[in-house]
A = this chain, B = another copy of it.
């Protein structure tokens, strides 16, 4: 199922420089590509591989055309064009509809005829599985959960009761959606669990990575808007709201009742504390902790870069002395001011 470069240019929405009839049937990195492969250059780090690539064509930006030894597809956003080409050359597999003999579907569940339910799945009473949904092996969909049309649970995904997924969601193995949030009241030292009755509600086109947890709301719902992309090992706590097209990278966490706006990016390992609000277009850097609300779009960072251990040892003990040092510097400034010739009337 190869494509001509002409066809590929249309898919990529890029301008072709080269032989419109040349065939490609796969994507490869600049280093690994050979005849029949299309490659791309979207990250400066890999520019050095361009000159020697043996790809049949390369997707790249106008500035790189002159360095390209082979045919090219030129566009201002080579990574997006690459994404389009990937989706065309590597369409996702479509298993045959139907319910595997070992899947357990409760009589009170509704499963659309075009849905595919694989081996060892469980679908509980009141659950609804819409048209074209794919449940891979070992998925658990508890009572009253709803899976919108075209959504795909790859394998071993758990949707807890009342969870609601929009259309075309993609949920990776080990992800748990709609589990209880951490709601506890303290009774003279001992914790009393608070039943969590809100839902986890995901919009359309949401992706959730492997082993990520999105907790259900305490009373109102946890809400993940359309187009939100969540990586692996992420925790979204109860009552959180995440706005449209926000991306949350691996190991990031959003604590309870916080709201993240639309078009934000939360980088890997970053954390948002509870009960704060981030406006749209906020970008939190890797391993940074947001400890208060952010009302101004922009990039926010608190990363402490690792350094040679000896350097760290010497300097980080000083963190406890910052306040003292600021006060000492101020005192020095005052004393020095008092020593200035004109201050002494000389």
Contact = CB atoms under 8 A, between A and B. Distances in A.
A301 interface: yes
A290 B303 CA distance: 10
A208 to B, nearest CB: 11
Interface bin, chain A:
35 or more
B271 A288 contact: no
A137 interface: yes
A185 B78 CA distance: 9
A28 B219 CA distance: 6
Given A156-B176, A191-B229, A304 B319 contact: yes
Given A122-B119, A156-B158, A319-B304, A80 B309 contact: no
A56 to B, nearest CB: 15
**Copy number in this complex?**
3
A136 B235 CA distance: 22
Interface of A: 27-29, 32, 43, 45, 77, 79-80, 82-84, 86-87, 90, 92, 100, 102, 104, 118-120, 122, 124, 136-138, 140, 142, 154-156, 158, 160, 170, 172-176, 179-180, 182-187, 189-195, 197, 207, 209-213, 215, 219-220, 227, 229, 231-233, 235, 237, 245, 247, 249-251, 253, 255, 263, 268-271, 273-275, 284-292, 298-309, 311-323, 325-326, 328-329, 332-333, 335-336, 339-340
